[in-house]
Amino acid sequence: MNTETYLKSLIDRLEQTRALSREEWASLIRGRTPGLSEYLFERARTIRIRHYGRDIYIRGLIEFTSWCRNDCYYCGLRKSNHGADRYRLTKEEILSCCENGYHLGFRTFVLQGGEDCWYTDEYMEDLISSIRRAWPDCAITLSLGEKSYESYRRFALAGADRYLLRHETFDEAHYRKLHPPRMSAAHRQQCLRDLKELGYQTGTGFMVGSPYQTPENLADDMLFIKNLNPQMVGIGPFIPHHGTPFAGKPAGTLELTLFLLGLIRLMLPRVLLPATTALGTIAPDGRERGILAGANVVMPNLSPVRVREKYLLYDNKLCTGDEAAESLAQLDARMAAVGYRLVTARGDSLNI
């Protein structure tokens, strides 16, 4: 059997059994070709259409603080980046983002920010329960980083339904190359187990092409995700930020990100899989191509316009075009052009 035939047989087996060994994952990722990718995307689209039709769920992203106590080497919000323009949104401003989003058709609000202690647990509980009361038909997703079990529990009781926390990379040695010593892969993974135990619809994920990443690291990521069985998986290319230690590192590629999206769709057929802003940043048609590789979610920006250019995780982040929530019609037209449509349903995971 030649290599291409062998790798194709791995894709077929992944589709049938939803699992591969570490060695198989690594050889498939390392040996991918344009022809294999097309074969994979075709299978991924068929599976996605079987479960979700041609619907794309929308999530309104509210980036409510650009302050962060962490110092991840890749991120423009890291505390040592003194060039970052910092802001915080008040409860009233966040509620008005939700109000605006609700009128635009959003039924999921994603509150995302750096790890910012200014927002105490009491503040977050009050905020979450206010959103819950005002829009009982909406899902509330949090993406606030690593917190204690008790904090996560309080936020769930206040009305949060979902939580996004990328594991970033499973391998401890690789994790340590991306983060300062006080952070660890093990703690991140423990947070994810806590979130699942508390009943959150949980999202994990990683950056594609982060510095020092190997196909074996990605194989471990796939095995970890399989084992965690999350409801959502967010992946996007690493993109350097000029004010970080990784300023000169190469960005992750569109091509590898798309390949991994297709693989994730085969491994977890019913998972919610966003075509991320980072994907739209490295290529003008990145998000459409993500959808064609098996993704089924987009997350337009609902933050107030005046802060959008300040939440810079990486350079050239899209923030004024049709990834903005006000431009849903344009986004819908782009998705319609490739045969899909935005829907306003809450879009809970079929995988609860």
314 sits near ligand SAH (criterion: CB under 6 A): yes
The partner in contact with residue 238, picked from ligand SAH, ligand SF4, none with C-beta cut-offs of 5 to 8 angstroms by kind, is ligand SAH
The partner in contact with residue 32, picked from ligand SAH, ligand SF4, none with C-beta cut-offs of 5 to 8 angstroms by kind, is none
Q: Could you say which of 60, 101, 114, 262 contacts ligand SF4 (CB under 6 A)?
A: 114
The partner in contact with residue 241, picked from ligand SF4, ligand SAH, none with C-beta cut-offs of 5 to 8 angstroms by kind, is ligand SAH
Match 């962490």 to its residue by tokens: 70
CB of 111 to ligand SAH, least distance (A): 10
What's the order of all strands across the beta sheet hosting 341-343? 297-298, 55-58, 341-343
User: Which residue stretches of 245-344 are H helix?
Assistant: 254-267, 277-282, 286-292, 305-308, 328-337
C-alpha 40/C-alpha 293 separation (Å) is: 8
CB of 322 to ligand SF4, least distance (A): 25
116 sits near ligand SF4 (criterion: CB under 6 A): no
Binding residues for ligand SF4, rule CB under 6 A, total 9
User: Judged by CB, which is closer to ligand SAH: 78, or 289?
Assistant: 78
Q: Could you say which of 32, 48, 59, 78 contacts ligand SF4 (CB under 6 A)?
A: 78
Assess contact for 22 and 223: CB atoms under 8 A: yes
**Listed residue (11, 53, 9) closest to 260, CA to CA:** 11
Instruction: Build a one-symbol-per-residue string for 51-70: x at contacts with ligand SF4 by CB under 6 A, - elsewhere.
Output: -----------------x-x
Q: Could you say which of 98, 239, 260, 261 contacts ligand SAH (CB under 6 A)?
A: 239
Q: Dihedrals φ, ψ of 113, to 5°?
A: -170, 175
* Residue 327 per-residue DSSP state: G
Q: Which of residues 135-164 bind ligand SAH (CB under 6 A)?
A: 143, 145
Encoding tokens for residue 124? 């977050």
| 3-state SS, one letter per residue, for 100-120 | HHHHHCCCEEEEEECCCCCCC
